[in-house]
Structure 1
Amino acid sequence: MHEGQRAALERFIAQAAGARAAAITQAQLLSGGAIQENWRLDIHIDGGAHDGPLAAVLRCDSASAGVATSHGRAQEFALLKAAHVAGVTVPEPLWLCQDRAVFGRPFFVMRRVEGTAAAHRIVKDPALGGDRVRLAEQLGRELARIHSIRPPRPDLAFLPVPELPPAAWLIDRARRWLDGHELPHPVMEWGLRWLERHAPAPGELNLCHRDYRSGNYMVDGQGLTGILDWEFAGWSDPLEDIGWFCAKCWRFGRNEREAGGIGAREDFYRGYEAESGRAIAREQVRYWEVMAHMNWALISIQQAQRHVSGEESSLLLALTAHITPELEWEILSMTEED
């Protein structure tokens, strides 16, 4: 962050906070974030409702265009506000700025939560996240609170209501993207056909996070501190999120812990059912786990393309390309009996 950005950002924060002045005492670009950038900010605010020190995070677009299906920052800010009001454990959203003259890109500022989101550490270190049964149950409860948000919602009017049942809509979106892609992916075509033939009856629409997994929540030594990364959220079948969380591709090597690599599937289910008051259709979750591998494979191709095309030189994006065959193998393994 150069001095011009810092000064413009300080002026914006002071105005947004209704303060006399704001001073950024520390600014650090955080690691990770293939689609967005996150800046750790320590701010001292003089006056207004936030008078005093403020620990915050600034979230802005990455240098490149990002994944085709990801939301912009204004949309993600609105989603974060809706989740916060619904009682979901999220960082408090503070201020949105769409004036590119301030930081060069749209951004929003949210209150910082402490802990780590590093999935490879969380699944291996039992000291992170506290009691694992309780953590799995709490993650189930948090997801149920997200799913309590239902259309119509004027504050979320930018989210399209699918004209097709959620599964059919996802299949159609994936097929159209693959048809326009320059390289063939026959395994994924097979997977789409399987998903088409086995699609469950559509249920009600809820707000789905669509990236609810280990790596997108923060924990400290006691437990959960925040649900992160809302850029893919949309109206869908709640089982889409449940399948995504339990899918093998998001267990980070701890395959025996079927709930996100951190706990038992039934512990996660129990928390969800207790909070939502409705039973999970367990026989349908496997279908949505196949869908999870399909969607993650599509995203992996898109992210790899950003690097290969020269749009954004990134080792993280380049390495993402290597997981596509593994995801295709899992799709074949899960559907081989059919």
Structure 2
Amino acid sequence: MTTTRRWRGIVAVTLLVGGVGLAADRPDLVLVSAVGVAFAVYPRLSPAPPATPDLEIDRRLSDRAPTPGESVEVTVTVRNVGDDTLFDLRVVDGVPPALTVTSGSPRYGGLLRPGGEATFSYAVSAEEGKHGFDPATVVVRDPSGEHEVETTVAAETEIDCAVARGTPPKRNLAIEDAGDLLTDDGGVGIEFHQTREYRRGDSMSRIDWKRFARVGELTTVEYREERSASVVLLVDARPESYRAPAGEPHAVVRSVAAAQRLTGALLTGRNRVGVAALGREDCWLAPSAGSDHESRAMRLLATHPALAAAPPERTPGRQSTTKSPASGVSCRRTRR
């Protein structure tokens, strides 16, 4: 509990006015000082707010998986499940930093009796990526406003604004595993590459029988081999990347959303994918494949502090390096 000092100075002013009224024989000033005494005593007689307000918050979304740019209505219900009347309750919902409120207000203020509830709503514009709501900030004051208690109330809510997976471009970084990246090497595949002289052991299905029937020569058809690519998605999450025009998502939000789409598309094509980030915590997830690796990559992109939607805070400190062999993720933490 903290003191707002809202009534600070009222006692001194009251004594000053009362003293002047007595010295100057001014009954009107003495009467004013009496009113001041009442104001000075009022905060001391007001019931203090509960040390830990017992509140619950329920947050409902009109659409949990909207498309980018779609308006999502957020309805918040605050319930007083305690035994104390909250005379001055103020709530600020934890809107995700990357989302913009387009209508309504994420704030509420009023009185809430035991067992009562209050509802308010607002709308946000959906942006690409997964956006988790922060806990709502709650401030409760006594009737006089002299004392207040600040706390947070959490209600896990997430907007998953994903877009259809595209076909990402890939450089010729092929590895030996099968995949969907066409190489310049001839072998087994679909797209024609070249013909060459028949060699003992060549598959009968790859012999150009039409040429053999025409000129009597055995030739073997080669196709462009398809192999998988090894790709690392690097997200620039340095402080400069958080700069954006008012009301627009910054580069980190867009980059994380793009990395999520590319990760799914590349892994679907049997490629090896890794994730790295430059920022408050340089993060590295080694390239790999499979559904388990996809889950790890998506979880990292959605929850890692280096990729948070909120800009980093500049705090002095030291740099430390940590590595988790089990997860294959290494991070370098830098505190400025």
TM-score interval, normalised by the smaller of the two chains: under 0.3
* TM-score for both structures, normalised by structure 2: 0.20
* TM-score for both structures, normalised by structure 1: 0.20
Q: Which has the higher strand share?
A: 2
Which structure's CA Rg is the greater one?
2
The higher-RCO structure (CA 8 Å, 6+ apart) is 1
